[in-house]
């Protein structure tokens, strides 16, 4: 596995940011628990891409759960993961090494709000993937225009967004007033879901599909990380809601997050996962089915 930096950052813990590390942990738990959804999503992409993509670009890869899932799904593809955060890319290196996936994933530390000079070196790309990323950039229209330039003729862009934060709890959790989680979500999910259809077509893409995924997982499907994931999500939501909830709800949330309490989220066996995600599949310029050769050989520096 290789890495390349085009900023003056450095990989590892030197510039460790607590926010990035906490976010990386949340994203990794998300991918573990929602593995059935991720498998369905990449399987759907496999159905839509003939021949299978040889070069994949993961925009705002974070800790690389998407890069890894795509590398598994497309067994001979080269995946380039780009992120502004060295901590995120460090996590990706660790995960890739743990899974024995060190050969086919490259990382590039770059600010995607800036010109994509070095990103172009590995392209054009057969598949560009942007999960929970587009709403982070300064100018999504510009980012999509750059993606359009870097996807091969007939290649695909897959944009995914989490519409709302997941829910886990039953209506009555045994403490406080029923409906606590709904009130927490109402206080924090104040924005409408992202909608990229217009921006995609404005950038030149042809929209192939816009697919909402309505995800409902029981305990068995979600697996052993469910409680950790629910606790991490709840703590994150609470950090945004302390001014918006009544005192009794804040007390109930404190009890839920206190692992010593019998009703705590860490100990519950009545959790499920309920969330919705939307994916847009958009086709790049022209309709050529055959991947073209890279314009220049990729320039990557080994770790």
Ligand X SMILES: C[S@@+](CC[C@H](N)C(=O)[O-])C[C@H]1O[C@@H](n2cnc3c(N)ncnc32)[C@H](O)[C@@H]1O
Smallest separation, CB 177 to ligand X (Å): 32
Smallest separation, CB 230 to ligand X (Å): 18
What is the number of other CB atoms lying within 10 angstroms of the CB of residue 216?
A: 11
| Residue from 2, 6, 25, 111 in contact with ligand X (CB under 6 A) | 111
Return d(Cα 197, Cα 201) in angstroms, integer: 6
Smallest separation, CB 28 to ligand X (Å): 8
> Which residue in the shown chain puts its C-beta closest to ligand X?
62
| Residue from 37, 74, 116, 133 in contact with ligand X (CB under 6 A) | 133
**Is the CB of 88 or the CB of 180 nearer to ligand X?**
88
Return d(Cα 239, Cα 220) in angstroms, integer: 29
Asked if 140 is part of the footprint of ligand X (rule: CB under 6 A), the reply reads no
**Is the CB of 112 or the CB of 273 nearer to ligand X?**
112
Size of the residue set binding ligand X (CB under 6 A): 18
**Is the CB of 277 or the CB of 283 nearer to ligand X?**
277
**Is the CB of 132 or the CB of 292 nearer to ligand X?**
132
Interface with ligand X in residues 112-131 (CB under 6 A) = 112-113, 131
Interface with ligand X in residues 38-97 (CB under 6 A) = 60-62, 65-66, 83-85, 88
SS3 3: strand
Instruction: Identify the helix (H) or strand (E) that includes residue 58.
Output: strand 55-59
Smallest separation, CB 26 to ligand X (Å): 9
Return d(Cα 212, Cα 278) in angstroms, integer: 4
Q: At a CB cut-off of 8 Å and minimum separation 6, what does 253 contact? A: 180, 184, 234, 238, 245
**Is the CB of 133 or the CB of 205 nearer to ligand X?**
133
Asked if 137 is part of the footprint of ligand X (rule: CB under 6 A), the reply reads yes
Asked if 278 is part of the footprint of ligand X (rule: CB under 6 A), the reply reads no
Smallest separation, CB 143 to ligand X (Å): 8
136 token code pair: 């982070």
SS3 142: helix
Strands (E), 67-147: 78-83, 105-109, 125-131
Q: What is the DSSP letter of 59?
A: E
Cβ pair 150, 128 in contact under 8 A? yes
249 token code pair: 């709800």
Asked if 132 is part of the footprint of ligand X (rule: CB under 6 A), the reply reads yes
Asked if 158 is part of the footprint of ligand X (rule: CB under 6 A), the reply reads no
Length of the chain: 303
SS3 211: strand
Block residue for tokens 């054009």: 124
Smallest separation, CB 132 to ligand X (Å): 4
The contact set with ligand X (CB under 6 A) reads 27, 60-62, 65-66, 83-85, 88, 111-113, 131-133, 136-137
């Amino acid at each position: 596995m290789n890495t390349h930096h085009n900023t003056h950052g450095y990989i590892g813990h030197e510039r460790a940011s607590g926010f990035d590390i906490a976010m990386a942990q949340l994203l990794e738990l998300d991918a573990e628990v929602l593995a059935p959804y991720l498998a369905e999503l990449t399987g759907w992409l496999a159905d839509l891409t003939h021949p299978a993509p040889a070069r994949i670009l993961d925009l705002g890869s974070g800790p690389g759960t998407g890069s890894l899932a795509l590398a598994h799904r497309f067994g001979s593809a080269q995946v380039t993961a780009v992120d502004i955060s060295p901590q995120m890319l460090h996590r990706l290196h660790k995960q890739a090494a743990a899974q024995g996936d060190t050969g086919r994933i490259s990382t590039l530390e770059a600010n995607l709000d800036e010109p994509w000079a070095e990103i172009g070196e590995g392209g054009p790309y057969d598949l560009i993937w942007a999960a929970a990323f587009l709403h982070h950039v300064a100018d999504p229209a510009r980012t999509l225009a750059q993606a359009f330039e870097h996807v091969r003729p007939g290649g695909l862009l897959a944009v995914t967004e989490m519409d709302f934060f997941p829910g886990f709890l039953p209506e009555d959790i045994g403490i406080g007033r029923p409906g606590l989680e709904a009130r927490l979500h109402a206080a924090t999910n104040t924005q409408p879901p992202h909608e990229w259809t217009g921006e995609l077509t404005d950038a030149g893409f042809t929209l192939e599909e816009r697919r909402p995924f309505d995800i409902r997982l029981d305990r068995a499907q979600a697996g052993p990380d469910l409680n950790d994931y629910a606790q991490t999500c709840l703590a994150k939501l609470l950090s945004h809601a302390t001014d918006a909830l009544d005192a009794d709800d804040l007390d109930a949330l404190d009890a839920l997050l206190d692992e010593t309490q019998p009703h705590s989220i860490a100990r519950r066996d009545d959790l499920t996962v309920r969330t919705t995600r939307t994916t847009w599949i958009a086709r790049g310029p022209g309709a050529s089915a055959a991947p073209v050769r890279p314009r220049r050989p990729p320039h990557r520096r080994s770790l």
